[in-house]
Amino acid sequence: MSKNKNIFLIKLKRRLEALWVFIKLLLKNKLTGIAFITIVLLTVTAIFAPWISPYPDQGQGQVNLEEKFQPPSTKHIFGTDELGRDILSRVIFGTRISLVISTITIVLALVIALPLGLLAGYHGGMVDEIIMRITDVFLSFPPLMIAIVIASFLGPSLTNAVIAIAVAWWPWYTRIIRAQVMSIREKPFVKASNCIGTNKWVILLSHILPNTISPVIIQASMDMGGVILTAASLSFIGLGAQAPTPEWGLIISTARTYIIDAWWYSAFPGLMIFITVLSFNLLGDGFREVFDPRTRVR
């Protein structure tokens, strides 16, 4: 028993060491480091929005008509909107919505993709063929277009936008999981388990599943930026969040009417989307560089 525990500890130590090397490699690039810190700050902002934002009530929608269309000032750093609400506070609450919905979207896409990918990769044959042809149809179109079409059928709401984006995104993950399963299926330890008659489900869940997770998680984290952009675009054309939700895309959509008089109204929420997506994309590039064996030496 103590020997088992020892092996477990050694394994854990190795994992941690590998993780440490990975983080060191990742943060070697300064831009990646800045992006990483920005994402941490954004997450903190999202969690503590009610305490960080200067006017939490306005952030959540309370109207303040005396201060309509105030340009940026020390009192309202990002200015105010047509209902006098502090745009900085709205944007801070928007961080919450964007990070939460993009995470839920990706988790949902993974929930669809995981069983299908495992099935296609492990079972093979006809099942694999059918699942792959379905993903082909999806992969022939940009995700934003699929999301717009599906969301327009489901009707405008934030929940429907999440479902629409998840449906547009799952085929990418199914592909990755399938490829991973197929390569692991051929590994000696899986074949050995097969030979000694281990149950199919045990092999699938205890050997194959844990080994498919990490590449998918990495891909998913690289996709965060794209999902945030897609969600904002849907809200912008009226297919996502509905007023008075402080969703970034929706805020800019409302601001469109007032661009002649109030430039700050659309500029700052958009800047926030830009910074968030850029950080996720830079982090994704950092990941890619670490995992690309060609650039690893450099």
Partner 1 sequence: MWKFIIRRVAIGIFILFVVVSTTFFFSRIVPSEPAQKWVGAHATEEQIEAAKIELGLDKPLYSQYIKYLGDLLKGDFGMSIVSHRPVSLELKNAIPNTLELVILSVILAFAIGLPIGVYSAIHENTIFDHLGRFISVGVISMPTFWVALMLQIIFSTKLGLLPLTGQMDTILKLTNPLDKITGFAMLDSVITGNWRVFKDLILHAILPILTLMSYSLGLTSRMTRSILLEVLNEDYIRASRAYGIKERIVIWKYAIKNVLGTVTTVLALSAGYALVNTFVIEAVFSWPGIGSYISRSVINLDYPAIIGVTLFASVSYIILNLIADIIVALDPRIRFVKGGD
Partner 2 sequence: MNSKDNVLEIKDLKVDAHTVMGTAELLNIKHLEIKTGEIFGIIGESGAGKSLLALTILGLLPKNVYVKNGQILYKGEDLLKKSQEELSQRIRGKGITMIFQDPMASLNPVFTVYDQVSQVISRHNPGLSKKQLYDRVIEMLELVKLSDPENTMKKYPHELSGGMRQRVLISMALSAKADLLISDEATRALDVTIQAGILKLLEELAEKLGLSTLFISSNMALASTVCQRLGILYAGEVLEIGRVEEIIRNPRHVYTRSFLSSLPTVEKKGKPLPIIKGIYPDPLNKAKGCIFADRCPDYSAECSQNKPTYHEVIPGHFLACIKEEKHKPSSDNDMD
Residues near partner 1 (CB under 8 A): 31, 136-137, 140-142, 144-145, 148-149, 152-156, 225, 229, 232-233, 236-239, 249, 252-253, 255-256, 259-260, 263, 266-267, 270, 273-274, 277-278, 281-282, 285, 294, 298
Question: Residue 28: which of partner 2, partner 1, none does it interact with, CB under 5 to 8 A by kind?
Answer: partner 2
DSSP per residue, the chain: -HHHHHHHHHHHHHHHHHHHHHHHHHHTSHHHHHHHHHHHHHHHHHHTHHHHSS-HHHHTT---GGGTTPPS-SSSTT-B-TT--BHHHHHHHHHHHHHHHHHHHHHHHHHHHHHHHHHHHHH-HHHHHHHHHHHHHHHTS-HHHHHHHHHHHH-S-HHHHHHHHHHHHHHHHHHHHHHHHHHHHTSHHHHHHHHTT--HHHIIIIIIHHHHHHHHHHHHHHHHHHHHHHHHHHHHTTSS--TTS--HHHHHHHHGGGTTT-HHHHHHHHHHHHHHHHHHHHHHHHHHHHH-HHHH--
| Minimum separation from the CB atom of position 214 to partner 2 (A) | 20
Question: Residue 27: which of partner 2, partner 1, none does it interact with, CB under 5 to 8 A by kind?
Answer: none
Query: Which member of 3, 5, 30, 298 binds partner 2 (CB under 8 A)?
Result: 298
| Minimum separation from the CB atom of position 18 to partner 1 (A) | 26
Question: Residue 294: which of partner 1, partner 2, none does it interact with, CB under 5 to 8 A by kind?
Answer: partner 1
Site string for partner 2, 28-57 (x = CB under 8 A): x-----------------------------
Question: Residue 154: which of partner 2, partner 1, none does it interact with, CB under 5 to 8 A by kind?
Answer: partner 1
Residue 14 or 200 having the CB closest to partner 2: 14
Mark the segment that binds partner 2 (CB under 8 A) among 150-158, 180-188, 221-229, 290-298.
290-298
Which residues make up the interface to partner 2 (CB under 8 A)? 24-25, 28, 296-298
